[in-house]
Structure 1
Amino acid sequence: MSADEPLSGEAAPAVVPADAAAPRVVRGPRGSYAKGQARRQQIVDEALLVFARTGFHSGSLREIAKRVGLTPAGLMHHFADKEELFVEVVRQRDEKVRTAAGDPAEHTLIEQAEKVVAYNQSTRGLTSLYAIVSAEATDSEHPSHPAFAERYRDTAVRSAELLRAGQEAGEIRADLDPEHAARLISAVMDGIQLQWLLDDDVDMVALFDEFVTRYLRP
């Protein structure tokens, strides 16, 4: 096929005189897409605040819609239902925490955990969301129940592997049971978060450092 031939299924371009005025460039669709994405993110940001305060079941789509200047029906143009919106809120929260933790290849388990604790102490809304939703997810009927159960299992498995590697490197106490310690790390982090959410005077970073020093370090 020559460069002048149209692609299969396309109409051949019309011949336009050289002195004809240049056609007007229509940028509507691209601009509309950008605006749609911006509005979608605005909805997620406001939903985070609502879910972090009242949880999934009590979080009202009507309130979220009102906060972004939409009707509930208008909000449904961006998300099919409350569960889809909630899943996106949690997904973005998880992505931010993973970024804060850093690359596992470059940081030990303890370093990653310390980074997450410090990040959580600087983002009250996200931390509150996690605390409320993880408690709600103990209900087997909650939309996030399977995901949270799997999350804790997977985290425990990965943490145990890293703890064993740390023991071999002399960075973790040799007498620890890696499987038990992996579960305890999550329990301590979650417990400290809850106390901090109830009392701003609690220093999560200092408390977790104390746990690391007295329990994990040789």
Structure 2
Amino acid sequence: MQHSATQTQEIAGAPKVSPESSRGRRGPYAKTVRTRERIIDACEALYASKGFRATTVKEIAALAGISDRGLVHHFPSRDDLLFAVLERHEKRSSDAIVHDDPYDVLRAILAQEESLSRDPHLAELRTVISAEAIDPAHPAHEHYRGVYEQWSGFLTDLFRALERRGDLAEGADPAGLAASVIALTDGLQLQRLYGIEGPTGPSILRRLVEDHVPALRTP
């Protein structure tokens, strides 16, 4: 890792970001894209280990191997950096569950949680920033409030669609089940980051969903 292309510096708790992590395109535009992606990689690493508020622009620049001035050229403010990270994360999440059939959507959600459980860095990033954003003054507060509202509405509509098809267990409440899925994923993820041993979050989540949507069970 380099600071202003000359000073080598280690940042505790953050994985290294390779300046050569993205190749294949050519020209000034390709270089700009690679630089921006490298900066966002550095933000993800530092936000996961230190949180957004405790991370400085100098640390991000050092980890990305770019000068402070170069970083500000691509991202003029700290909020711009944060929202670039959030945009990348939300795109990953939405791209993973684009399906028409409710069963395919549920399978994609369960697969996504399985993937997240194998990536402690990404899990920590999501948990740390969303916890920080509880403060109304945090720049991501409204973002996460909207995410939770949309996610709750999306899951409720999904379980209602299954209910209309007669595929939801008798007596199951779509809104309550949606709230349970969100609470379970967040709560178990937080426990895992604390190092609390127990059944894996994805296996418990799968059991909850399959108990209420029996046809989802694999024979």
TM-score by length of 2: 0.78
Is 1:69 aligned to residue 70 of structure 2? no
Structure 2 partner of 1:211: 208
1:134 deviates by 1.0
The CA RMSD measured in Å over matched residues stands at: 1.8
Matching of residue 37 in structure 1 with residue 45 in structure 2: no
Q: How far apart in 2 are the matches of 1:192 and 1:61?
A: 32
The one of 50, 57, 69 equivalent to 2:46 is 50
Paired residue type of 2:208: F
Instruction: Name 1:104's counterpart in structure 2.
Output: 99
Aligned residues: 187
Q: How does 1:148-163 map to 2 (within 5 A)?
A: 148-163=144-159
> Could you tell me which amino acid in structure 2 is paired with residue 213 of structure 1?
E
Determine if contact 2:102/2:158 at 8 Å carries over to the other structure.
no
Shift of 1:61: 1.4
* Aligned equivalent of 1:113: 109
Further displaced range: 149-158 or 203-212: 203-212
Aligned equivalent of 2:81: 85
Once the two structures are superposed, what CA deviation does each residue of 1:76-122 show, in whole Å capped at 9, x if it has no partner? 01101111011011111111122233x23144353232122112113
User: How far apart are 1:196 and its partner, in Å?
Assistant: 2.0
CA deviations over 1:157-216 (Å, ceiling 9, x no partner): 1211111111122322231222222111111111111122223855222121222234x2
Q: Look up the equivalent residue of 1:67 and give its one-letter code.
A: L
* SS of structure 1 residue aligned to 2:73: coil
Distance 1:31 1:124 in 2: 35
After the TM superposition, which of the residue ranges 141-150 and 161-170 deviates more from structure 2? 161-170
Whether the 8 Å contact between 1:100 and 1:119 is mirrored in structure 2 is no
For structure 2, list consecutive stretches of 5 or more residues without a partner in the other structure: 1-25, 215-219
Please name the residue that 2:195 is paired with: 199
Larger Rg: 1
Other structure's SS at 2:70 match: helix
**Structure 1 gap segments, 5+ residues each:** 1-29
2:131 matches 1:135:
yes
2:134–2:141: 8 Å Cα contact kept in structure 1?
yes
C-alpha contact 1:128 1:197 (8 A) present in aligned 2: yes
Partner of 1:27: none
Q: Quote the offset at 1:66 in angstroms.
A: 0.6
- Select which of 161, 164, 174 maps to 1:168: 164
